[in-house]
Amino acid sequence: RTHTVFTYQSKECQTASWKASHKTSCIIHPSLVSPTDPNKVISKADMLKPYTPEWMELQVDRELSRWLQIWRFCFQKFATFCLDLANHPPERVMTHCMKLVVQPRHFEDNPAKQYQIITASVVLFSDIIADNPRLDTPIDPTDFTRLRFVVIMQNNDGEDRRLRLLQWNDGNLDFYRNMDKSSSTSLGGPGSGWDSTLIDSVWSDDPQVLEEKLTGGKKST
């Protein structure tokens, strides 16, 4: 059976730069919902018993959340680059987003290497909504600083098991909108190879190494 989980309330879910915006679209994982109040997390006494099927599903969610948090900064950067903002109208941040399809890597102890990216692409956000009606996320037509990307986690048979929508606001988008058009194309336009760069980097690089490449050696915050 396919389980679709958009995101769940946890420490991972409430950290780093998307803390406020992510919280508004955060849905408690079904296994953590209180039986008496669907808006509250289950009590400690009623937590899942280890190694039950439900508990195993929860571990998958936690592992995916940890992996996304480790690569968060890099994914946010590529989600910005790939929109090629200098060559498109400002509302592109509302109509399009980066989509990553990932699958587990086996026999990897490194938390940063638990998943591999199978495909990376730019898609219409309306197509994501059409394929996932539960993902009822309103778009503010006046917010030109809000970015998003979608992660679809598959099993190794290519079956979709999880979907995560990650959103945040970036007040520096005018830098990308006003940059030289050819530079923007080279950075994230068609034929730039941004997708293969991201796929290869997640496979072979450490997150810190990729962050340094993206920031010119400056440490991300």
DSSP 40-106: SBPPGGGPPPTTSHHHHHHHHHHHHHHHHHHHHHHHHHHHHHTT-GGGS-TTHHHHEEEEEEEEE-S
Kind plus residue range of the DSSP H or E element containing 103? strand 96-104
Check residue 153 and give its pLDDT. Answer: 96
Nearest to 120 by CA among 146, 92, 158, 82: 82
pLDDT at residue 172, rounded to an integer: 93
CA 9 to each of CA 3, 138, 168: distance values in angstroms, whole numbers, following the listed order? 17, 20, 17
Residue bearing the bigger pLDDT, 99 or 3? 99
Indicate yes or no: pTM above 0.85: no
- In tens, the pLDDT along 151-166 reads 999 999 999 999 999 9
List 119's β-bridge partners, or say none: 101
Are residues 77 and 213 in contact, defined by beta-carbon separation less than 8 angstroms?
no
Q: Is the pLDDT score of 208 beyond 50?
A: yes
Q: List Cα–Cα distances, 144 to 96, 129, 148, 170, 197, in angstroms.
A: 12, 20, 12, 9, 27
Q: Determine the Cα–Cα distance for residues 54 and 206; give it in Å rounded to an integer.
A: 31
Q: Give the model's pLDDT for residue 32.
A: 66
The pLDDT score that the predictor gives to residue 52 is 74
CA contacts within 13 A on the Cβ side of 110: 13
Report for 40-54, 133-147, 168-182: range of highest mean pLDDT: 168-182
Question: Which of these, 164, 192, 118, lies nearest to 12 by C-alpha position?
Answer: 164
**Residue 168: strand pairing partners:** 147
Q: Which residue has the higher pLDDT, 184 or 5?
A: 184
pLDDT at 82 over 80: yes
Q: Can you list the positions of beta strands (E) in 105-156?
A: 115-124, 146-154
pLDDT, tens digit, 9 for 90 and up, residues 15-68: 443 343 444 445 555 656 666 676 777 676 666 666 676 766 777 888 999 999
pLDDT given at position 6 = 39
Give the Cα separation of 220 and 210 in Å (integer): 11
Share of the chain above pLDDT 90, in %: 65
What are 133's two structure tokens? 């009606």
